[in-house]
Amino acid sequence: MPLSVKTLQQLLADYGHRVKVITLAPELEASGAGIAYLRSQSILVSLGHSQATAQQAQQAFNQGASMVTPWL
Protein backbone atom coordinates (compact mmCIF):
# COMPACT_ATOMS: atom_id res chain seq x y z
CA MET A 1 0.00 0.00 0.00
CA PRO A 2 1.49 3.38 -0.97
CA LEU A 3 2.06 5.84 1.83
CA SER A 4 0.27 9.17 1.80
CA VAL A 5 0.37 12.23 4.02
CA LYS A 6 -3.17 11.40 5.16
CA THR A 7 -2.12 7.88 6.19
CA LEU A 8 0.90 9.23 8.06
CA GLN A 9 -1.26 11.80 9.85
CA GLN A 10 -3.66 9.04 10.91
CA LEU A 11 -0.80 6.82 12.13
CA LEU A 12 0.81 9.62 14.12
CA ALA A 13 -2.49 11.07 15.41
CA ASP A 14 -2.10 12.34 18.97
CA TYR A 15 1.38 10.88 19.44
CA GLY A 16 3.28 12.48 16.57
CA HIS A 17 5.09 14.80 18.96
CA ARG A 18 6.66 11.71 20.60
CA VAL A 19 7.89 10.12 17.37
CA LYS A 20 11.50 10.98 16.50
CA VAL A 21 12.36 8.44 13.76
CA ILE A 22 10.26 6.49 11.27
CA THR A 23 11.54 3.71 9.05
CA LEU A 24 9.77 3.34 5.73
CA ALA A 25 10.19 1.52 2.44
CA PRO A 26 11.12 4.15 -0.16
CA GLU A 27 9.42 2.26 -2.99
CA LEU A 28 6.09 2.87 -1.19
CA GLU A 29 6.68 6.64 -1.02
CA ALA A 30 7.87 7.70 -4.46
CA SER A 31 6.27 11.16 -4.50
CA GLY A 32 8.31 12.48 -1.58
CA ALA A 33 5.24 14.12 -0.01
CA GLY A 34 5.30 11.75 2.97
CA ILE A 35 8.99 12.27 3.59
CA ALA A 36 8.52 16.05 3.34
CA TYR A 37 5.61 15.88 5.79
CA LEU A 38 7.59 13.80 8.30
CA ARG A 39 10.58 16.17 8.07
CA SER A 40 8.23 19.15 8.60
CA GLN A 41 7.19 17.45 11.85
CA SER A 42 10.89 17.12 12.86
CA ILE A 43 10.77 13.35 12.37
CA LEU A 44 13.88 11.70 10.93
CA VAL A 45 13.19 9.33 8.04
CA SER A 46 15.12 6.08 7.84
CA LEU A 47 14.93 3.65 4.94
CA GLY A 48 14.25 -0.03 5.59
CA HIS A 49 11.65 -2.82 5.32
CA SER A 50 12.38 -2.50 1.65
CA GLN A 51 12.81 -4.06 -1.74
CA ALA A 52 13.86 -0.70 -3.20
CA THR A 53 16.30 -0.29 -6.03
CA ALA A 54 19.39 1.87 -5.56
CA GLN A 55 17.67 4.55 -7.63
CA GLN A 56 14.58 4.54 -5.38
CA ALA A 57 16.76 4.74 -2.28
CA GLN A 58 18.78 7.64 -3.72
CA GLN A 59 15.56 9.46 -4.61
CA ALA A 60 14.34 9.08 -1.00
CA PHE A 61 17.66 10.46 0.30
CA ASN A 62 17.32 13.39 -2.10
CA GLN A 63 13.81 13.97 -0.71
CA GLY A 64 15.02 14.11 2.91
CA ALA A 65 15.57 10.60 4.23
CA SER A 66 18.81 10.55 6.23
CA MET A 67 19.34 7.05 7.64
CA VAL A 68 19.09 3.34 6.88
CA THR A 69 17.67 0.83 9.35
CA PRO A 70 19.75 -2.34 8.95
CA TRP A 71 18.34 -5.83 8.70
CA LEU A 72 19.71 -7.96 11.50
Q: Per residue in 6-46, pLDDT tens?
A: 999 999 999 999 999 999 999 998 889 999 999 999 999 99
Is there a domain that residue 39 lies in?
Answer: yes
Is there a domain that residue 72 lies in?
Answer: no
Q: Taking Cα atoms as reference points, which of 22, 61, 63, 60 lies closest to residue 41?
A: 22
Q: Model-level pTM?
A: 0.88
Which residues constitute the domain of residue 45? Answer: 5-67
> What is the tally of structural domains in the chain?
1
- 3 state SS for the chain: CCCCHHHHHHHHHHHHHHCCEEEECHHHCCCCHHHHHHHHCCCEEEECCCCCCHHHHHHHHHHCCCEECCCC
Is there a domain that residue 42 lies in?
Answer: yes
Give the model's pLDDT for residue 49.
86
